[in-house]
Amino acid sequence: MSMKTKVDCNKVHYTDSIYYELEQTSRLMKKITVQLFTKLDIDLTMDEYAALDTVSVNAGICQRDLAKFILKDRANTGRILDSLEQKGFITRFIDTKNNRLVKKMGITENGLKELNMIDSKIERYLKSLTRKIDPADVDRVQETLKSFRIELEKVVEINI
């Protein structure tokens, strides 16, 4: 075997890295979830669902803070909330935070109903995705991902 070939074989490829594996797995997962939402006739987008869930555990949050949670910019966060409000799943009200006028929000009765309905609809489908994987591994991955994400948050420049 020539030296060149040997070097080539040992080359570290980005597409073999954990960063790419993460992106690919996430893209697949997103595709599957979108297909699931379509199949189950859920009339929220995935992003609206995630936003609604985030609002449900952070009552009275303002738009910018929500944007930081869901990792979208203020513009698109506003648009998602427009849709959720128009569908009657959240209410928005003007309030102050640090003496600034902000738009805060809360989940409505209907929103909570919708959230629970979606949860119950998708639960068993999502659970089945990891049936071949040791539950302990799943937990460990989630934990490590969380530590990783917290490290990433320290490095990324967020301009929201």
Partner DNA sequence: AAAAATATGTTGCATTTACAACAATATTAT
Partner DNA sequence: ATAATATTGTTGTAAATGCAACATATTTTT
In the complex, the residues that contact a second copy under the rule CB under 8 A are: 12-15, 17-33, 35, 49-50, 53-54, 56-57, 71, 119, 122-123, 126, 129-130, 132-133, 137-138, 140-142, 144-149, 151-153, 155-158
Nearest to 53 by CA among 149, 139, 143, 119: 119
Other Cβ atoms closer than 10 A to 65: 16
From the list a second copy, DNA, none, which binds 9 (C-beta under 5 to 8 Å, kind-based)?
none
Nearest to 112 by CA among 96, 89, 80, 83: 89
From the list a second copy, DNA, none, which binds 99 (C-beta under 5 to 8 Å, kind-based)?
DNA
Which residue type does 120 have? S
Quote the least distance from Cβ 56 to a second copy, whole Å.
Answer: 8
Quote the least distance from Cβ 3 to a second copy, whole Å.
Answer: 16
Contact assessment for residue 37 and residue 50, using Cβ atoms and an 8 Å cutoff = no
Q: Please identify, using beta-carbon distances, which residue of 5 and 98 lies nearer to DNA.
A: 98
Quote the least distance from Cβ 78 to a second copy, whole Å.
Answer: 18
Q: Please identify, using beta-carbon distances, which residue of 35 and 130 lies nearer to DNA.
A: 35
Tokens representing 42 are 């859920």
Nearby residues of 43 by Cβ (< 8 Å), 6 or more positions away: 87
From the list DNA, a second copy, none, which binds 13 (C-beta under 5 to 8 Å, kind-based)?
a second copy
**Cα–Cα distance between 129 and 95 in angstroms, integer?**
42
Nearest to 117 by CA among 60, 51, 57, 37: 37
Quote the least distance from Cβ 94 to a second copy, whole Å.
Answer: 26
